[in-house]
Amino acid sequence: MSYNSDSSVQEIQEVHIHRDDFGSKMGMWLFLFTEILLFGGLFIMYAGYRYLYSDGFAAAATELDVLLGTINTVILLTSSLTVVLSIVALQKNNKQLSLFFLWVTVLCGLIFLVNKYFEWGAKFHHGIYPKGPALQNMSEGEVLYFGLYFVMTGLHGLHIVVGLIFIGYVMRQIQKDVITSVNFQKLENSGLYWHLVDIIWIFLFPLFYLIH
């Protein structure tokens, strides 16, 4: 009787875990959908202005550092890989390896932000910022280009910061054995959010750095 009772309790607990995982996953997908709508609207705005001011956008794009943008792209793609490897490691009950890959992800995110800081810093140094002196001598198309550049890359950078905080929270939960090989939905959710951040950059990179 005791064995059957213990089995029933375990089954009930597993059902609750699965329900919580499903609700958590659905909540994350709904949140990601709203993020897609936000950036989708910005991309549509970009496309409209680029059609109207193609020459100005092409001229302004030459002011960006393609090499630095490429490096940041490689960094984010690497971080997406390490997030996946972290999930796989935890599923195999290798907590330390999972944490290692998450640390690499965090490092990649920080390097990305440092590179973006220097890139923005160079633009500010040359007076290229909203209502900056350099923009006074530019065409309307170039001014719109840099306005969108700062808004969209800045918003993306904010998402990087949020993603790093999310991953840091998950790492703490893994360290305390709250997130384990049988209960890793939060880790998957942080991975989904991080992948979205990377995908957004995959669109931002060619739109601002490559299309001249």
Cβ of 92: how many Cβ atoms within 10 Å? 11
Q: Which own/partner pairs from 162-166 qualify as long-range (CB within 8 Å, at least 24 positions apart)?
A: 162/193, 163/109, 163/190, 163/193, 163/194, 163/197, 164/106, 164/109, 164/110, 166/190, 166/193, 166/194
Q: Tell me 56's DSSP state.
A: H
Higher pLDDT, 1 or 118: 118
Give yes or no for residue 2 having a pLDDT over 50: no
In this structure, are residues 181 and 88 in contact, taking their beta carbons and an 8 Å threshold?
Answer: no
Give yes or no for residue 132 having a pLDDT over 70: yes
Residue 65 Ramachandran class (φ > 0 left, ψ -120 to 50 alpha, else beta):
beta
Q: Give the SS3 label for residue 65.
A: coil
Distance, CA of 191 to chain centre: 9
Higher pLDDT, 186 or 212: 186
What's the whole-model pTM score? Answer: 0.85
Angle, helices 95-125/66-91, rounded to nearest 10 degrees: 160
pLDDT of residue 30: 85
pLDDT of residue 137: 87
Mean pLDDT throughout 165-179?
95
Give the model confidence (pLDDT) of 136-149 as tens digits: 889 999 999 999 99
Domains assigned to the chain: 2-210 (1.20.120.80)
Mean pLDDT throughout 80-94?
96
Give yes or no for residue 72 having a pLDDT over 70: yes
Give residue 22's pLDDT band: very low, low, confident or very high (50, 70, 90): low
Residue 117 CB burial class (10 angstroms; 0-12, 13-18, ≥19): exposed
Rounded Cα distance between 116 and 122, Å, is 10
